[in-house]
Amino acid sequence: MNTPVSRSRHLHPTLVAVSALFASLVVAYGLDSIFGLLRQQAQSTFHVLPAALFATNMPLVLATIVLALAWIILIELPPSRAIATIFLAAGCLVIGTYLTQFIGFPSELRRTFIGHFRTAILTLGTHSSLYHLTSFWIVAGLACFLRRHVKTKESRVEKREKTAA
């Protein structure tokens, strides 16, 4: 693979992937927070147009983020199990946090960082950009694992063809 990131000595692919993951998290959480504020304002002032316009454009922004993230980790960066594991683990962590609303949560952990993280995520709801983005992280992590597997198979086939020739 001969991409600018893979040729660079200064940027490690895992660092680029983690940075992209973190940036997408910040943007998705920011979108959800802004929409929540606009919705509160609309409920108090009866001016629903800003919230409606923002809600209409949120899927477009999220789709752009998802496509950019997919391009970075599946095309631009070389195949890596570390990147696949990071995306899969991060996605499962957030989706698992959503699942705690159904299975209960220990009261001892509610005042810790884990409890505050859970509260911040659950207040957004399952219709949030963050929920959809983290679902994509799981799919992207699985795609990274499959990409690595397919590349390994292709290299074995290429080796056989080279040996036979």
For the segment 103-155, what is each residue's pLDDT rounded down to a tens digit? 888 888 888 988 888 888 888 877 889 999 999 999 999 999 988 555 555 55
Rg (C-alpha) for the chain, rounded Å, is: 20
Q: How does the average pLDDT of the chain come out, rounded?
A: 86
Six-digit token pair at 117? 């993280």
What is the mean predicted confidence (pLDDT) over 6-31? 86
Residue among 122, 101, 100, 135 at smallest CA distance from 32: 122
- DSSP-derived 3-state class of residue 77: coil
The yes-or-no verdict on residue 20 having pLDDT over 90 is yes
For residues 141 and 94, the answer to whether their CB atoms sit within 8 Å is no
Write the CB contacts of 114 (distance below 8 Å, at least 6 apart in sequence): none
Q: What is the pLDDT of residue 8?
A: 55
Residue count of the chain:
165
Residue 102 pLDDT:
87
Q: Taking the domains of the chain in order of start, what are their residue ranges? A: 4-164
Between 152 and 65, the more confident residue is 65
List, in order, residues 6 or more apart from 108 with CB less than 8 Å away: none
Asked if the model's pLDDT at residue 49 lies above 60, the reply is yes
pLDDT for 57 beyond 90: yes
Spell out a b/e string for 47-72, using b for 16 or more CB atoms within 10 Å of the CB, else e.
eeebbeebeeebeeebeebbeebeeb
